[in-house]
Structure 1
Amino acid sequence: MTQIKIATDSSVQLSPDEIAENNITIVPLSLMIDGTVYSDGVTITRTEFMEKMAVAKALPKTSQPPIGAFVDAYDALAGDDVEVLSIHMMESISGTVHSAEQAAQLSKTDVTVIDSEVTDRAMGFQVLTAAKMAAEGKSMAEILARLEEIKQHTKLFLTVPMLDNLVAGGRLNKAVGVIGGLLNIKVVIEVVKGHITIAAKGRGMKTIHKYFDHIYEEMQTFGSIKRIGVSHAGALEGALVVAEKVRGMFPGTEVYIEQTSPIISTHVGPGVVAIMYEYGE
């Protein structure tokens, strides 16, 4: 009987217990802060990254794992009748999935690589489901079909209270960023089919608060909310407010709250609060 093992990258939002209990292999991204290179989740924690980014001379740089790191990870999972399913963050923010695809061609084991079209806890929904189905003896085809369903039923939003990192990272025109700063412009991002879209923008925090009300209203229109993730970039207080709200709205539904990954923190900056959820019909 074929055994399927699960791999993913360090942008995923999973607890140490979830990783250990489900035998999930994490391949870390690389981070560079003022010339010093770190291995995400190995030589630097997410909290430490936020602290270092706050005093860095320049915007930190993130890079996908080298192909060799993926090959080593896949080969370590190899065995008789073993297949690997490698699930990664959306290609619109990182070339990680392409490094994994190239490594899959070089590995001595059979590897299937997919783009989750999301990241953070939203990607965690897919990774955890895949790991649990693999443990139940489900086939690769069955797992992939279920993950596609999850993709189609997952929403991911990020609030961006400061535009500095979007400008510094080249994702927003500098002139627009300066004007946005002067006018106190706030942005809400939605990830749609793996692409970053602007869901709302306006002056002041009222823009973000108003859009969160819209998100809450939309969540109530679905038949069920299966699981929720609330992540933040150094904004625990704001994240706790969101988590408390959705826990009250959907008692009994899993709500996972944690600091987001360095790649998200780098791209959108401190103060970000993200909410993501899987819904039923």
Structure 2
Amino acid sequence: MGMKVAVMVDSNSGIMSKEGEKMGVFVVPMPVIIDGETYYEGVNLTLDSFFEYLIGGRHVTTSQPSPGDLVDKWEEVLKSGYDEIIYIPMSSGLSDSCATATMLAADFDGKVQVADNHRISVPQYGSVLDALKLAAEGKNALQIKEALEETAFDCSIYISVDTLEFLKRGGRVTPAAAAIGNVLNIKPILTIQGDVLEAFAKVRGTKKGRAKIIESIRKDLNTRFGKEDPANIRIATAGTFRNPDDAENWRQEVEDNFPGFSVIYFDLGCSVGTHTGPEAFAAGIYKSL
């Protein structure tokens, strides 16, 4: 009988606690601090209420899971019949939560393995599916960690924001640049290539923003992933849309541009949404195992 390995991820993956239960995945909800009070994504904070707070001028910051909560969760899972845990936190380049988890895992004698997977949102979700598949094949937590880290950088995310206001609040653009950008309807395209959220391109208007993201995904598909087996490549969409129809329209537009790919949509979590604000849209491409 092989090891029984639990797969655990944070809610930046787009997987909330209820969905995690259906998938057989343990979810660590990301804390969000609003006017000094701590809420938990997907537990007592919905994305709709999060954006209401954000737009309403409340003081909103995101935080990493508390060390105590994480250790308690690991101990609880190990006591429930699992031999090991593979934990897949958000990219170490975007948060200290991966480094904290790695340090805490040192006290668990190898029973908890933390994958520095360099992913967030839909590529992170893809890594969860990979981990479940490997666990079902009988791989142990260390083997799963090594496999996830080997393909960690085989992904790209491109994001366009509706307003520069929230990037300004986070200090990512200057107030002057934000004011000019909003007047001229400039939509920056940001990218996450594993580790950092950085500027990628600037376009005028949402329509051009969508076209630029689709063009960027197509370029990656033909160059970076050109030699890969298409069966192992995934294209996905995400966003901070408040209207589900808008989210579906974006997903459909991307799927129409990539025949043969089944494109999914996930809400971008609060950690990214704090910087992008509502009505942001994104698409990603990544390799699965």
Asked whether the two chains share a fold, i.e. TM above 0.5, the reply is yes
Distance 2:178 2:134 in 1: 45
How large is the RMSD of aligned CA atoms in angstroms?
Answer: 2.6
Q: What amino acid is the match of 1:277?
A: I
Q: Which amino acid aligns with 1:224?
A: P
Mean Cα displacement is larger for which, 241-250 or 57-66? 241-250
Residue 54 of structure 1 pairs with residue 61 of structure 2: no
Is 1:233 aligned to residue 243 of structure 2? no
Return the alpha-carbon distance in structure 1 between the equivalents of residues 82 and 62 of structure 2: 35
Secondary structure of the residue aligned to 1:278 is strand
Letter in 1 for 2:198: T
Give the percent of matched residue pairs that are identical in Structure 1 and Structure 2: 27
Q: What letter is aligned with 1:115? A: D
Secondary structure of the structure 2 residue equivalent to 1:91: coil
1:67 partner letter: P
Tell me the CA shift for residue 237 of structure 1: 4.6
* In structure 1, C-alpha distance between the alignment counterparts of 2:127 and 2:22, rounded to whole Å: 16
Quote the Cα distance in structure 1 between the aligned partners of 2:95 and 2:86.
Answer: 19
Aligned residue number for residue 271 of structure 2? 263
Question: How far apart are residue 273 of structure 1 and its match?
Answer: 0.4
Shift of the 188–207 alpha-carbon distance from structure 1 to 2, 3 Å rule, reads: same
Match of 1:8 in 2: 9
Q: What is the CA deviation profile of residues 76-115 of structure 1, one whole-angstrom value per residue up to 9, with x for unaligned ones?
A: 1225771211111123332221221232134477211122
CA distance in 2 between partners of 1:137 and 1:63 (Å)? 34
Alignment of 1:1-281 (within 5 A): 1-14=2-15, 19-55=20-56, 57-79=57-79, 82-107=83-108, 110-218=111-219, 221=222, 222=226, 224=230, 226-234=233-241, 236-251=244-259, 253-279=261-287
Cα distance in 1 for residues equivalent to 2:142 and 2:105: 18
**Per-residue deviation at 1:176?**
2.5
* Structure richer in strand, relative to its length: 1
Give SS of 2:152's match: helix
Q: 1:52-83 CA distances to partner (integer Å, 9 max, x unpaired)?
A: 3232x334111111100110111112257712
**TM-score, normalised relative to structure 1:** 0.87
Mapped to 2, the partners of 1:48 and 1:196 lie a distance apart of 24
SS, match of residue 161 in structure 1? coil
Tell me the CA shift for residue 271 of structure 1: 1.6
Aligned residues between the structures: 279
Moved more, 221-230 or 41-50: 221-230
Verify the 8 A CA contact 1:156 1:275 in the aligned structure 2: yes
Would the alpha carbon gap of residues 30 and 279 (structure 1) be closer, same or farther in structure 2, given more than 3 Å must change? closer
> What is the CA-CA distance between 1:41 and the residue it aligns to?
1.2
TM-score (norm 2): 0.84
**For residues 227 and 210 of structure 1, do their structure 2 counterparts lie closer, same or farther at Cα, with a shift above 3 Å needed?**
closer
Q: Could you say if the C-alpha distance between residues 23 and 58 of structure 1 is closer, same or farther in structure 2, counting changes exceeding 3 Å? A: same
| Cα deviation digits, residues 174-233 of structure 1 (max 9, x gap) | 332233233332111111131222221133335413413413532652452633321111
**SS of residue paired to 2:44:** coil
